[in-house]
């Protein structure tokens, strides 16, 4: 079974990520969606009573969260026939709790919204999404706040064609591609647009073409200075549903969600971005 986990903080952005997960689950015969929420542990006063909760018990708080998750599940059931589970866990550390769950439950994809509908949501679904990417516990699909994508049939793989054997986790890429069996576009956007295609580039392309031959990749070399403009234009022209990126150090794709150009792509694109760590 292919397990996709969707952290839910009940902001519209997290629900939109869940809708995207439901749509792409229709492409995977044995998909299992897990709607996941971590609610804070109660703090107790000197008299051993819960602070600010008027005596509410942990069990009832969990039941309330599960009821809210059930409401999201009901909506998603109209989109997909995939199995959908709800999980609510009590802990003050969302990242550690999610990481432990992912490692123990054979999760293939984490699907999260990038920003939230509220300021609190922006903190939760923004910073936490990026920190989960850094932890490299599983491929993370980041769904922009206004994403309209409902598929993963046209996939764009971004690469700089520099030492692809150590900079692209081919096995993990294949696992993701095997979920959706997409049309695969491999694109290099060279910010030094005056540079000609080199022999080194050709050699790296040949290596990548051989390793991804089962997916019949189509290769494109785009010489435009503006990385974001070039990528967005290619996405629009080719009806791309999902972008694959590989965050790593000392690369034009490093800190993919931090640098000025790539943050624009992440925050303003209508297309989900999958981060697969090297």
Tens of pLDDT along 232-250?
889 989 999 999 988 765 4
Q: How much is the mean pLDDT over the chain?
A: 81
Q: The whole model's pTM is what?
A: 0.83
Is there a contact between 179 and 2 (Cβ–Cβ < 8 Å)? Answer: yes
Q: How many CB atoms lie within 10 A of CB 61?
A: 18
Is there a contact between 11 and 118 (Cβ–Cβ < 8 Å)? Answer: yes
3-state class (DSSP) for residue 217? coil
Rounded Cα–Cα distance for residues 69 and 232 (Å): 34
SS3 of 139-156: the string is CEEEECCCCCCCCCCEEE
Using a pLDDT cut of 90, give the percent of the chain over it.
Answer: 45
What is the predicted pLDDT for the residue at 195? 55
Using a pLDDT cut of 70, give the percent of the chain over it.
Answer: 78
Rounded Cα–Cα distance for residues 128 and 132 (Å): 6
What is the predicted pLDDT for the residue at 18? 95
Equal CATH topology for 2-143 and 154-275: yes
Torsion of CA 73, 273, 98, 45, to 10 degrees: -90
Using pLDDT thresholds of 50, 70 and 90, give the confidence band for residue 188.
confident
Higher-confidence position of 18 and 11:
18
Higher-confidence position of 70 and 196:
70
Domain assignments of the chain as residue spans, ordered by start? 2-143, 154-275
User: For the residues 45-67, what does the mean pLDDT come to?
Assistant: 66
Q: Is the pLDDT of residue 90 over 70?
A: yes
Torsion of CA 149, 218, 157, 100, to 10 degrees: 80
Q: Which CATH number fits domain 2-143: 3.40.190.10, 3.40.50.620, 3.40.50.300, 3.40.50.150?
A: 3.40.50.620
Spatial CA neighbour of 151 closest among 264, 61, 25: 25
Is there a contact between 6 and 33 (Cβ–Cβ < 8 Å)? Answer: yes
Rounded Cα–Cα distance for residues 122 and 156 (Å): 27
Helical ranges in 26-115 per DSSP H: 58-76, 94-104
Q: Which helix (H) or strand (E) holds 188?
A: strand 183-189
Is there a contact between 244 and 276 (Cβ–Cβ < 8 Å)? Answer: yes
Q: Which helix (H) or strand (E) holds 119?
A: helix 119-121
**Which of 180-189, 225-234, 242-251, 269-278 is predicted with the least confidence, judged by mean pLDDT?**
242-251
What is the predicted pLDDT for the residue at 185? 97
3-state class (DSSP) for residue 32? strand
pLDDT in tens, 137-147: 899 998 887 77
Q: What is the DSSP secondary structure assignment for residue 6, as one 8-state letter? A: E
Using pLDDT thresholds of 50, 70 and 90, give the confidence band for residue 255.
very low
Q: 154-275: what CATH class? A: alpha beta
Spatial CA neighbour of 144 closest among 116, 120, 182: 116
What is the predicted pLDDT for the residue at 191? 61
What is the predicted pLDDT for the residue at 270? 75
Higher-confidence position of 134 and 185:
185
What is the predicted pLDDT for the residue at 50? 53
pLDDT in tens, 154-186: 999 988 888 888 889 999 999 999 999 999 999
What is the predicted pLDDT for the residue at 5? 97
What is the predicted pLDDT for the residue at 43? 58
Using pLDDT thresholds of 50, 70 and 90, give the confidence band for residue 124.
very low
């Amino acid at each position: 079974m292919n397990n996709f986990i969707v952290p839910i903080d009940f902001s519209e952005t997290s629900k939109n990520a869940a809708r995207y997960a439901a749509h792409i689950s229709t492409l995977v015969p044995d998909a299992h969606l897990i709607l996941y929420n971590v609610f804070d542990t109660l703090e107790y006063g000197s008299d051993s009573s819960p602070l600010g909760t008027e005596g509410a018990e942990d069990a009832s708080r969990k039941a309330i969260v599960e009821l809210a998750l059930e409401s999201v599940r009901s909506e998603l059931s109209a989109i997909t026939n995939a199995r959908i589970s709800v999980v609510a866990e009590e802990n003050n550390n969302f990242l550690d709790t999610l990481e432990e769950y992912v490692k123990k439950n054979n999760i293939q994809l984490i699907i999260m919204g990038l920003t939230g509908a509220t300021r609190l949501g922006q903190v939760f679904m923004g910073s936490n999404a990026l920190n989960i990417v850094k932890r490299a516990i599983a491929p993370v699909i980041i769904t922009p706040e206004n994403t309209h994508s409902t598929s993963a049939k046209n996939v764009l793989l971004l690469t700089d064609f520099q030492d692809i054997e150590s900079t692209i986790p081919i096995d993990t890429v294949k696992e993701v591609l095997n979920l959706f069996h997409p049309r695969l576009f491999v694109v290099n956007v060279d910010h030094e647009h005056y540079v000609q295609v080199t022999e080194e580039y050709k050699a790296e392309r040949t290596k990548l073409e051989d390793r991804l031959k089962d997916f019949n990749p189509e290769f494109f070399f785009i010489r435009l200075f503006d990385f974001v403009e070039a990528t967005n234009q290619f996405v629009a022209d080719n009806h791309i549903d999902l972008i694959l990126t590989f965050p790593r150090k000392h690369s034009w794709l490093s800190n993919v969600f931090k640098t000025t150009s790539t943050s624009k792509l992440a925050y303003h694109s209508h297309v989900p971005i999958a981060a697969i760590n090297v």
